[in-house]
């Protein structure tokens, strides 16, 4: 597989920049698995650096299951209105609401430790860190609520 194909494949999986992916592939000597691990580690480092930043904005996202008997709401915080209006940020909020509806976490901490239902190779904390790295802002799950009839 060519380098371009590897970059495309990793970009589809992570939505990170081509430059970041290329650097990780060079550092990993072309090994896709190692490059993904490097990118994951960088995401954690970026998230740690941004974790002290104040959350002033955000959105509330809802998900209602097809049977109309289970629903969830997530309050997701960001630093700025600009990120709160971003399509990627709204996508993360929707993914989190679906996770809450299907996996019944007790609270935000429990949610962060859960395996992501759409990708069992990562936790919700990994997913949020990936979005922090991608969007360049601190992101916090402020509140979750699940309803069931």
Q: Which residue has the tokens 């609520």?
A: 145
- Domain total for the chain? 2
pLDDT tens digits, one per residue of 55-79? 889 999 999 999 999 999 999 999 9
CATH number at residue 18: 1.10.8
pLDDT-derived band at 51 (thresholds 50, 70, 90) equals low
**Which of 2-6, 47-51, 139-143 is predicted least confidently?**
47-51
CATH number at residue 86: 3.30.479.20
Q: Are residues 34 and 62 in the same domain?
A: no
Burial 90-115 (b: 16+ CB within 10 A, else e): eebbbbbbbbbbebebeebeebbebe
């Amino acid at each position: 597989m060519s380098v371009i194909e590897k970059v495309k494949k990793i970009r589809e999986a992570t939505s990170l920049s081509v430059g970041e992916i290329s650097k990780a592939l060079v550092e990993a000597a072309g090994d896709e698995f190692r490059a993904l691990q490097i990118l994951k580690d960088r995401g954690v480092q970026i998230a740690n650096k941004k974790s002290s930043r104040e959350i002033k904005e955000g959105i509330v996202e809802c998900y209602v299951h097809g049977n109309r008997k289970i629903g969830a709401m997530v309050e997701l915080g960001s630093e700025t209105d600009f990120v709160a209006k971003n399509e990627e940020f709204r996508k993360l909020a929707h993914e989190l609401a679906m996770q809450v509806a299907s996996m019944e976490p007790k609270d935000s901490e429990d949610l962060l430790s859960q395996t992501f239902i759409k990708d069992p190779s990562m936790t919700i904390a990994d997913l949020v860190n990936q979005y922090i790295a991608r969007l360049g802002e601190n992101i916090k799950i402020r509140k979750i609520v699940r309803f069931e009839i």
